[in-house]
Chains A and B, each alone.
Chain A
Amino acid sequence: MFRHRSLIICLALLGVLFLNTAAEAQKSMTVQVQEGQLRATPSHFGKITAKTYYGDQVTVLEEKGDWKRVSIADGKGHGWMHGSALTSKRTVLKAGQSRAGTSVSQDEIALAGKGFSEEVEKEYRKNNANLDYAWINKTAVWCSAAKEADHEKIFLAILGNRDDAGGDDRMRRHGTGNNRGHRGG
């Protein structure tokens, strides 16, 4: 009888351990880029399966090097994101709105959209009329043009040994993984 009880306790403990491990594997993270892409493969050239935005919560399902396979909180999509697009901190979107003010804790990255934001920039521009933001905005046009998948693939092809999906993983094999995801954690 005593033996059985010990066995049950051991199994129960193992069960708890297993559940904890499962919970650890499915940790929640926050998107820290304006627009994040979920991709079919762990590569910057993987096909985009869904998009996610700054402050969104994702669930990490699997990790491979610097890449994490995640699902969007509402279950509407899943795919691979680079770790530097994610942080372990949670985001409170606006002080005085929704979650803000009621759920702020030390583990949260407070004040998204607050602090130095578009509003502060507008105010700064008013007082510094000589500043030229038109060109700052125009760089985004060339940036988008450069990001056209085919355009960049052609560029990379000339560098040799470059193909599409997975190609940049090989390039990153010497990577240190020293990115924001870790910094923010």
Chain B
Amino acid sequence: MIGCAAMEQATTVATVVGEATGTISRQQGESIRKSSKAVAKSLEDFTPEQEYYIGRTVGAVVLTKYRPLDDDRANTYLNTMGQALARVSDMPELFAGYHFLVLDSDDINAFATPGGHVFITRGLIRCCRTEDELAAVVAHEIGHVQLQHGMNAIKKARRTEALSVLVREGAKSFGTKEIAQLNDVFGGVITDITNTMINNGYSRSYEYQADAAALSIMKRMNYNPRALPDMLNVMAKQIKPGGTDFAKTHPSPQNRIAALKKNDQFVGETETPDVRKNRFMKAVGHLL
């Protein structure tokens, strides 16, 4: 987080200098001073609308790496399950809601953008044998959204840069130079998030946090929490060491299972009912 007071002070000094040197008018200076206070406060968080637009472009970048799977049956099923799980998460409401899409790839991978776009590869769906196991995968991704892991990938310096540009946008006059700066900083934000999300992976602790969130979400929906380690056991057999997917960006399935066993929520054992097994096979069986 940015030091708001420091940023306000810096902006005030810059504004006074601007007025004195005649580069900005007194009226513009007043406008900047008013706006900087508001923005310094509000940029502790980006607005939900800004997160949505960041998320859309992060999603578009994901789709340059992975082809979407044009499959109505699987995608409608995934979206229905996803909406239901999102409703019981700690963040059921997003600017434009949650959206889910299957990616046509054998990689074991998944992504969740700050705007609520969740992508899951066919390779990861193949690690799931039941609806409950797929729910575990989806709930883990919703966990990343509700914990704002994507937004936390934005570098501190970038946040400060965004703040200073947006402060000037708060003033009424916003020239081509500022618009160019705003576009640059947007590009920087996208790079920060996609580099972390796609190439390097979040910190290991974020993954464990998302697993813990997944357990809570699953329990609230009456899904079997054991489905998460069950799915991870299958993943452990299918994951290819040295791969650029979960093999690189996530803790090993074995370590994730070990962490789950220490979680208080990891209790109860319910067999997945046939009706759910059948529904799962009907919707995504052809992808397995």
Could you list which residues of chain A lie within 8 angstroms of chain B, going by C-beta atoms?
32-34, 36, 44, 54, 82, 84-85, 89, 92, 95-96, 101, 104-118, 120-121, 123-124, 127, 130-133, 135-136, 138-140, 142-143, 145-147, 151-152, 155-156, 158-162, 168, 171-180, 183-184
Contact = CB atoms under 8 A, between A and B. Distances in A.
A83 B34 CA distance: 29
Contact of B79 (A130, A143, A175): A143
Contacts of B96: 33-34, 140
Given A136-B117, A147-B83, A108 B38 contact: yes
Contacts, number: 211
Interface in B50-104: 50, 52-54, 56-57, 59-61, 63-64, 68, 72, 75-76, 78-84, 87-88, 90-101
Contacts of A178: 90, 146
Contact of A104 (B35, B80, B98): B35
Nearest to A45: B87
B171 interface: yes
A117 B183 CA distance: 10
B276 interface: yes
B60 A133 contact: yes
A96 B96 CA distance: 26
Contacts of B100: 139, 142-143
Interface stretch (B120-128, B213-221, B226-234, B253-261): B213-221
B91 to A, nearest CB: 5
Contacts of B56: 121, 133, 136
B53 A120 contact: yes
A16 B50 CA distance: 41
B93 A82 contact: yes
15 contacts: A54-B95, A105-B37, A115-B169, A116-B182, A117-B49, A117-B53, A131-B57, A131-B61, A131-B63, A136-B60, A143-B98, A158-B273, A160-B273, A177-B90, A179-B93
